[in-house]
Amino acid sequence: MSKALLNINNLKVSFFTPAGEVKAINDISIRMEEGDVLGIVGESGSGKSVTAYSIMGLIPYPGKIVNGTIEFNGHNIHEMAEKELQNIRGNEVSIIFQDPMTSLNPVYTVGNQIQEALFLHTNMDKQRAYQRSLELLNLVGINEPEKRLKQYPHELSGGMRQRVMIAIALACEPKLLIADEPTTALDVTIQAQIIELMMELKKKINMSIIVITHDLGIVASMCDKIAVMYAGKIVESGTIDDIFYSPQHEYTKGLLKSIPKLNKKEHEKLVPIKGVPVDMLNPPAGCPFAPRCDSCMKICLKRMPEYTNISDDHKCACWLLQKKEYEAATGGER
Amino acid sequence: MGGYIIKRVASAIITIFAVATITFFLMFLVPGGPFLAEKAPTPQTIEALEKKYGLDQPVVVQYANYMKRLIFKLDLGTSLKKRGQEINDIIRVRFPVSARLGAISVCTAICLGIPLGSIAALNREKWLDRTIMAISTVGNAIPSFVVATVLMYVCGVVLRILPTFGLTSPAHYILPVISLSFYPTAYISRLTRTSMLDVLGQDYMRTAKAKGLSQFKSLFKHALRNAVLPVVTYLGPLLAFIMTGNFVVERIFTIPGLGSEFISSITDRDYPLIMGTTIFLATLLIILNVFVDIAYKIIDPRIKLK
Amino acid sequence: MDDKRNPLSFQLDVSDFLPAEESEKQSLVVMRESVNFWKDGFRRLKKNKVAMISLVVIILIMIFAFVLPSFYPYSYEQQIRGSENLGLLQYSEDELARRAAGEKVFPHFLGTDSLGRDTTIRIMMGSRISLLVGLIASAIILIIGSTYGAISGYFGGKIDMIMMRIVDIIYTIPDILIIILLSVTLKYPLKDLAANVKGFAWIDIVGVGLISIFIVFSLLYWVGMSRIVRGQILSLKEQDYVIAAKALGASSGRIIRKHLLTNTIGTLIVTTTLQIPSAIFTESFLSFIGLGVSAPMPSLGSMASQALNGIRSYPHRLMAPAIMISIIILSFNLLGDGLRDAFDPKLKD
């Protein structure tokens, strides 16, 4: 196994709100090698964005890491001081956000905002930084870069702004790019362009990417590995084939059933996942998906299942798998 | 941009015109017309005055004359009670005093209000925030004449540490400036706190942090400029507030400014002076507001420049 | 894997793997109770201690201003000979003599003024004026502003444009100057009206000053309200239920009343409440500079202004109205903030 670029172990992140502790991330572990493209999939509130922010040491107030470690590129993120984190952010790890409309500061020009990152992490002079920002805009496929540098964000379209965000993120050639729902706020055609751009750039610069999304289509077109999150836990993780062709967790299966497919037979219906996610203020003792699960068993409501290793890469936390193991182990008695 | 300025100036001119017209016709509600009110002048005086001001002519002609004098000569007329004094001269002497006091108070309110509001926002829900907001809530409820009179009593009468009469030394400025800037400071700090909290929650602040900017830098470069935008929009009302505040504060601290003159012209029923001062101050405010609006467009590039 | 983390080492039962009952599953789903807008708002308001205290204070001040004067042994215009310029809780010689004779004399809690009028009752009446001005002016502003804004927003297009131009111009007129001007000039025609036209005698009772204040407010102060209402209507009008109502053939008036105004009611309540202190503010300012209510009717502003001359000897005459006016404005401000948080979180500054 090659050297891990990112290693998250038993991470727990909680938000201490006036109403109580919200366990946004509840004991997750992720491992990524250099060059990997990892997709984190889940519905809103499942903790996927918080996972991304914790890698950058950017957990918003009043959130805190309660337990666990984050190792990235030789740094122990979880114990680093703010000053040290600032040297890493935008330099070794970058992030692009969901909404390019609001992620750029409206009162500064595009050029100003790109060069800001350069001045922070390199010792380029003004001239060099200007050249580099031109290069970057070319790289992300923006035409008339000289003109764009002088424009304000509101003068650009959504897709263009997301390209600018990517240019900012790539300014210092990071090892890891985190894309937090990079296309959710964009038109479908623009979505495809942005995904294509990211894959191209990955090849050019050889960086790793974490894509956070609720859109399985994006995952399928970009990622090597997938982690499926539900209510702050990774319920299943594996390669793209594992997840798409032999999903084990009932939630994963549900997700796959709920997306339209062209090659499906006509009479097959889309099956939505019934119910609503659990209240994160009072998470249940058992599997968080249990209340919505069609195959829910008594044990599911009482205790969280451990991971079952289906193959080297493929892991899943579900009592149904545990049941099989249990039956296999105690098979004689039955 | 040029188009916007022209449009804005044009509408300002219309407003000034409207104010002058309203003022003129309102004065006709006073028995005997604006120049004769409430006195029992001798027939000779009436005749002389009527001739002088053309009061014997029909209203429309009077109005035209009045506007002509106003527009072409910038002549606001003569005071009724202060015999022979041109209102223009009164304003020339009195206004600079008020303007200086007002300008210092505006600066004080901005220079205190913005930092206080930002500090409160950054220490949200902590004791510092609560303290600043408590003071500002109380400050928002106290009229400036109350602040001024209480300050005058406490600092001038009981403690005897500061002068409360006139405006002859820097120390004389302290109490009037506090009285005038107390409410706006409270208001601006509240406004800044709210908008700062809003800005701090914006996505671009997250972007700034994700770039690796320090807390300090991201605050100064990215947050502050966005957070003060609402304060700029408050500048218009602020100027109006300071102006009316001047009326009472100048009266309380016996400052020889235009405000105290205006108040005494009201008590004296010196209608031409009331009229002249109103038109002058209204014009001033309207013009200042045009500048504020234009400044806002420059600071916030999102506003479409036509 | 150590033993503790191995699930198989737990005491597992075959029965654990039986399918769970639907009811068991449901017990885990915490459904939030659905409450309606008003209930939810009032619940939030009740939780807001500051707002509730302000409400209690306002009620107390109302009792103080509207009920107590009827039972008070002195009246606001009564000049007690020999009792001029009394200090806090002082009695005049005459009153002391009467007390010595065993007569009960009601104390002057806040002393008397230079004309021998009891300050306490004058503060009560002054607060009454302030509250009346605040409430009536806000009601006027509410009616004019919301009607104007609703019409403008509902019809849109050219009508909206013209109506909003007018609002823009009124908005840029320096209102306080026009208010002063109106208060100065309106006195005469109003006095004329009261004296000469039958049916207008009430003007004298209410006071020319007060009437001019109301006229001024209703002429100029409604523009802010009308802008807010128009904005609300513009966004609401695009809602599907309004389009549905239109499709069903509901008349414009009905749509404005039934659908649009009911949906803006939260905003209206909050804006109106916050308008009260600003009207009180303006009234006290006008009285302080000698406009506003006419003597002998007291107003907190004019009382403070009169106290200015004797500030060295009688500071309490200044402090009493000053504190009163500040408490009134503060409580209305805080109540308004509380209402806003409870009913209209969107409006936050």
- A73-102: per-residue pLDDT in tens? 888 988 888 888 999 998 999 998 888 888
Tell me the nearest-neighbour CA distance from C1 into chain A, angstroms.
Answer: 11
Q: Look at C16 and A297 and tell me if their CB atoms are within 8 Å.
A: yes
Q: Look at A94 and B210 and tell me if their CB atoms are within 8 Å.
A: yes
Which positions in chain B touch C305 (Cβ < 8 Å)? 145
Last residue of a domain, one of C116, C140, C169: C116
Instruction: Choose among C236, C232, C230, C228: nearest CA to C259.
Output: C236
Q: Least CB-CB distance to C7: which of A275, A284, A306?
A: A306
Residue type, position A149, single letter: L
Q: Averaged over A306-326, what is the pLDDT? A: 86
DSSP codes joined into one string, C286-312: HHHTT-SSPTTS--HHHHHHHHGGGTT
Strands A233-239 and A208-213: unpaired
Residues A237 and A42 sit within 8 Å (Cβ to Cβ): no
Q: Look at B286 and C172 and tell me if their CB atoms are within 8 Å.
A: yes
Chain A residue with CA closest to B125: the answer is: A18
Tens-level pLDDT at each residue, chain B (306 residues) = 778 888 888 888 888 888 888 888 887 777 655 555 445 556 776 677 666 666 667 778 888 888 888 888 888 878 877 777 888 999 999 999 999 999 999 999 999 999 999 999 999 888 999 999 999 999 989 988 899 988 988 888 888 888 888 888 888 999 999 999 999 999 999 999 999 999 988 889 989 989 989 888 888 889 998 898 889 888 888 888 888 888 889 988 999 999 999 988 888 878 888 888 988 998 998 898 888 888 888 877 776 543
* Residue C3 belongs to some domain of the structure: no
Q: Reduced to 3 DSSP states, what percent helix, strand and coil does chain A have, rounded to the nearest 5?
A: 40, 25, 35
Suggest the residue from B24, B29, B231 to mutate for an interface test with chain C (most C CBs closer than 10 A). B29
Which positions in chain B touch C333 (Cβ < 8 Å)? 137, 140-141
* Residue C254 belongs to some domain of the structure: yes
Q: Which DSSP symbol is given to C173?
A: S
User: For residue C219, what is the enclosing H or E element?
Assistant: helix C208-220
Q: Which residue has the tokens 């309106």?
A: C186
Q: Where are the beta strands (DSSP E) in chain B?
A: none
Q: Look at B157 and C311 and tell me if their CB atoms are within 8 Å.
A: yes
Residues C215 and C343 in one domain: yes
Which positions in chain C touch B251 (Cβ < 8 Å)? 289
- CATH number assigned to the domain comprising residue C245: 1.10.3720.10
The pLDDT, as a whole number, for residue C139 is: 92
| Cβ-defined contacts of B122-128 (< 8 Å, 24+) | B122/B196, B122/B200, B122/B219, B124/B197
Residues B185 and B161 sit within 8 Å (Cβ to Cβ): no
Residues C185 and C110 in one domain: no
Say how far apart CA C308 and CA C286 lie, in whole Å.
16
Split into its structural domains, chain C has a count of 2
> Residue A301, Cβ neighbours under 10 Å: how many?
22
The pLDDT, as a whole number, for residue C11 is: 59
The pLDDT, as a whole number, for residue C9 is: 47
Which positions in chain B touch C325 (Cβ < 8 Å)? 143, 146
Segment 149-208 of chain B within 8 Å of chain A by CB: 202-204, 206-208
Say how far apart CA A31 and CA B132 lie, in whole Å.
47
Say how far apart CA A5 and CA A143 lie, in whole Å.
34
- CATH number assigned to the domain comprising residue B205: 1.10.3720.10
- CA distances C34 to B64, C38, C39, C43, C316, Å, are 67, 12, 10, 13, 53
Q: Least CB-CB distance to B214: which of A56, A86, A107?
A: A86
Q: pTM of whole model > 0.90?
A: no
Which positions in chain A touch C29 (Cβ < 8 Å)? 275-276, 278, 291
Confidence of residue A226 (pLDDT cuts 50, 70, 90): very high
Residues B257 and C175 sit within 8 Å (Cβ to Cβ): no
Q: Reduced to 3 DSSP states, what percent helix, strand and coil does chain C have, rounded to the nearest 5?
A: 75, 0, 25
Tell me the nearest-neighbour CA distance from A306 into chain C, angstroms.
Answer: 7
**Per-residue b or e along B203-216, where b marks 16 or more CB atoms closer than 10 Å to that residue's CB:** bbbbbbbbbbbeee
Chain A residue with CA closest to B302: the answer is: A154
Nearby residues of A302 by Cβ (< 8 Å), 6 or more positions away: A285, A286, C16
Say how far apart CA C149 and CA C229 lie, in whole Å.
5
> Residue C81, Cβ neighbours under 10 Å: how many?
9
B214 has a chain A CB within 8 A of its CB: yes
Split into its structural domains, chain B has a count of 1
* Residue C20 belongs to some domain of the structure: no
Residues C181 and C315 in one domain: yes
* Residue C142 belongs to some domain of the structure: yes
Q: Which residue has the tokens 């000039």?
A: C185
Say how far apart CA B241 and CA B246 lie, in whole Å.
8
- Show the domain range for B94: 1-306
Q: Where are the beta strands (DSSP E) in chain A?
A: 4-17, 20-33, 37-41, 63-72, 75-76, 93-96, 176-180, 208-213, 225-230, 233-239, 307-309, 315-317
Tell me the nearest-neighbour CA distance from A154 into chain B, angstroms.
Answer: 6
Say how far apart CA A233 and CA A11 lie, in whole Å.
10
Tell me the nearest-neighbour CA distance from B304 into chain C, angstroms.
Answer: 19
Q: Reduced to 3 DSSP states, what percent helix, strand and coil does chain B have, rounded to the nearest 5?
A: 75, 0, 25
Chain A residue with CA closest to C10: the answer is: A303
A227 bridge partner residues: A40, A237
The pLDDT, as a whole number, for residue C33 is: 56
The pLDDT, as a whole number, for residue B117 is: 94
Residues C89 and C188 in one domain: no
Which positions in chain B touch A107 (Cβ < 8 Å)? 225-226, 299-302
Which positions in chain B touch C288 (Cβ < 8 Å)? 143, 145, 248
The pair of three-digit structure tokens given for residue B290, joined into one six-digit string? 């045009």
Q: How far apart are the first and last CA of chain B?
A: 5
DSSP codes joined into one string, A247-261: --SHHHHHHHHTS--
Count how many residues are written for chain C: 349
> Residue B221, Cβ neighbours under 10 Å: how many?
16
Q: Chain centroid to CA B23: how far?
A: 19
Q: Look at A152 and B202 and tell me if their CB atoms are within 8 Å.
A: no
Chain B residue with CA closest to C333: the answer is: B141
| Ranges of residues in chain C whose predicted pLDDT is under 70 | 1-13, 24-37, 261, 344-349
Q: How far apart are the first and last CA of chain A?
A: 41
The pLDDT, as a whole number, for residue C80 is: 81
Residue A1 has pLDDT above 50, yes or no: no
Q: Which residue has the tokens 């205006």?
A: B262
Which positions in chain B touch C311 (Cβ < 8 Å)? 149, 152-153, 157
Which positions in chain C touch B140 (Cβ < 8 Å)? 330, 333
Residues C306 and C123 sit within 8 Å (Cβ to Cβ): no
The pLDDT, as a whole number, for residue C5 is: 45
Residues C55 and C181 in one domain: yes
Say how far apart CA A292 and CA A271 lie, in whole Å.
13
Chain A residue with CA closest to C22: the answer is: A291
B305 has a chain A CB within 8 A of its CB: no
Nearby residues of C224 by Cβ (< 8 Å), 6 or more positions away: C145, C171, C271
Does A137 or C186 have the greater pLDDT score?
A: A137
Q: Look at B206 and A104 and tell me if their CB atoms are within 8 Å.
A: no
The pLDDT, as a whole number, for residue B36 is: 54
* Residue C1 belongs to some domain of the structure: no
* Residue C190 belongs to some domain of the structure: yes
Residues C49 and C172 in one domain: yes
Suggest the residue from C48, C289, C332 to mutate for an interface test with chain B (most B CBs closer than 10 A). C289
Segment 260-279 of chain C within 8 Å of chain A by CB: none
- pLDDT digits over C190-210, tens only? 878 877 877 777 777 777 777
Sheet of A4-17, strands arranged across: A20-33, A4-17, A63-72, A75-76
Residues C57 and C85 in one domain: no
Q: Look at A121 and B202 and tell me if their CB atoms are within 8 Å.
A: no
Residues C105 and C125 in one domain: no
Helix (H, G, I), strand (E, B) or coil at A281: coil
Say how far apart CA B133 and CA C262 lie, in whole Å.
33
Residues C225 and C314 in one domain: yes
Q: Which DSSP symbol is given to A90?
A: T
Tell me the nearest-neighbour CA distance from A90 into chain B, angstroms.
Answer: 4
The pLDDT, as a whole number, for residue A334 is: 44
The pair of three-digit structure tokens given for residue C120, joined into one six-digit string? 């306490």
- Show the domain range for C103: 80-116
Peptide bond preceding B237 in cis form (omega within 30 of 0): no
Residues C293 and C167 in one domain: yes
C181 has a chain A CB within 8 A of its CB: no
The pLDDT, as a whole number, for residue A186 is: 79
The pair of three-digit structure tokens given for residue B288, joined into one six-digit string? 């200042």
Residues C91 and C201 in one domain: no
Residues C265 and C283 sit within 8 Å (Cβ to Cβ): no
The pLDDT, as a whole number, for residue B174 is: 92
What torsion do the CA atoms of B228, B229, B230, B236 make, to the nearest 10 degrees?
Answer: 100
Q: Look at A298 and C18 and tell me if their CB atoms are within 8 Å.
A: yes
Residues C319 and C235 in one domain: yes
DSSP codes joined into one string, C74-115: S-TT---TT-TT--TT---HHHHHHHHTT------TT-B-TT
Which positions in chain A touch C5 (Cβ < 8 Å)? 306
The pLDDT, as a whole number, for residue B98 is: 93
A306 has a chain C CB within 8 A of its CB: yes
Which positions in chain B touch C173 (Cβ < 8 Å)? 15, 18-19, 22, 282
B47 has a chain A CB within 8 A of its CB: no
Helix (H, G, I), strand (E, B) or coil at C174: coil
Q: Which DSSP symbol is given to A22?
A: E
Chain A residue with CA closest to B123: the answer is: A61
Which positions in chain C touch B19 (Cβ < 8 Å)? 173-174, 177-178
Chains adjacent to C (≥3 CB pairs closer than 8 angstroms):
A, B
Q: Least CB-CB distance to A103: which of B207, B299, B302?
A: B207
* Residue C224 belongs to some domain of the structure: yes
Tell me the nearest-neighbour CA distance from A292 into chain C, angstroms.
Answer: 8
Helix (H, G, I), strand (E, B) or coil at A162: helix
Chain C residue with CA closest to B19: the answer is: C173
* Residue C16 belongs to some domain of the structure: no
Residues A104 and A160 sit within 8 Å (Cβ to Cβ): no
Segment 182-241 of chain B within 8 Å of chain C by CB: 190-191, 194-195, 230, 240
